[in-house]
Chain A
Amino acid sequence: AQTVTQSQPEMSVQEAETVTLSCTYDTSESDYYLFWYKQPPSRQMILVIRQEAYKQQNATENRFSVNFQKAAKSFSLKISDSQLGDAAMYFCAYRSAGSQGNLIFGKGTKLSVKP
């Protein structure tokens, strides 16, 4: 069974600075997808960024980028120029490329942004 581990329960960053959230996963599959979701205090789950395992190029969405290391099974999220609105829980998630499309989530990292 696949597992996702986020080793940082809490992180803090100064406004305008850069922060990296860590995620590792375990799988025997070669084809899969990885995601970062943001959950602000409103509790809404918001997709931040996604990565296909077969793509070597790291995904980027504006201030958000990932460092995908397939051999190491690592998938970190970098937030540049942090803003107060980035404060939230961040979840790393895995999805098989096979017939089961459900997401497997890590425990989450709570990010605080200091003004």
Chain B
Amino acid sequence: DSGVTQTPKHLITATGQRVTLRCSPRSGDLSVYWYQQSLDQGLQFLIQYYNGEERAKGNILERFSAQQFPDLHSELNLSSLELGDSALYFCASSVGLAGGLSSYNEQFFGPGTRLTVL
């Protein structure tokens, strides 16, 4: 158990709908990262938040957005869902921001949310 929790574990929805994925980082971690794992794109970075502020963006679609709340949990919002959005969405957390390889910056992954768009 990494200490990172994600809810829900599974989500089945229809095209055009909107969903929210939730992530609670490990206690004390300030950074949250979102990754998408799909069959065709592999594992790719979406977005990073640090202490409530957006810090880095990857291949995140405009239909997707995220935020990190004062209690440091994060939510990933996916709207106007398409079949191709079906994937496993991971959240990872670390204590620090970036740079360095101390345990301060190691990323711990949650169990993921499996999204199926029908």
Q: A residues engaging B (CB < 8 A)?
A: 33, 42-47, 50, 52, 91, 96-108
With contact pairs A43-B111, A43-B112, A45-B90 given, residues A99 and B98 touching in the complex (Cβ less than 8 Å): yes
**A102–B56 CB distance below 8 A:** yes
Q: Tell me whether chain A's interface is mostly helix, strand or loop, or mixed.
A: loop
A108 and B2 CA atoms in complex are apart in Å by 21
Most chain-A Cβ atoms within 10 A of its Cβ — which of B2, B31, B98, B112? B98
**A101–B48 CB distance below 8 A:** yes
**B97–A103 CB distance below 8 A:** no
CB-CB nearest in chain B for A47: B106
B8 at interface, CB cutoff 8 A: no
Cβ of B97: which chain A residues have Cβ within 8 Å of it? 99, 101
Cβ of A44: which chain B residues have Cβ within 8 Å of it? 2, 109, 111-112
Shortest C-beta distance, A37 to chain B (Å), equals: 8
Q: B residues engaging A (CB < 8 A)?
A: 2, 31, 33, 35, 42-45, 48, 55-56, 58, 88, 90, 92, 94, 96-101, 105-107, 109, 111-112, 114
Q: Tell me whether chain B's interface is mostly helix, strand or loop, or mixed.
A: strand
CB-CB nearest in chain A for B44: A105
CB-CB nearest in chain B for A52: B101
CB-CB nearest in chain A for B99: A97
Most chain-B Cβ atoms within 10 A of its Cβ — which of A91, A99, A100? A100
Shortest C-beta distance, B83 to chain A (Å), equals: 21
Shortest C-beta distance, A102 to chain B (Å), equals: 4
Q: What are 14 sample pairs from A and B whose C-beta atoms fall under 8 A apart?
A: A42-B111, A43-B88, A43-B114, A44-B109, A44-B112, A52-B101, A96-B98, A97-B99, A97-B100, A100-B48, A101-B97, A102-B33, A103-B43, A105-B42
Residue from A98, A103, A104 within 8 A of B107 (CB atoms): A103
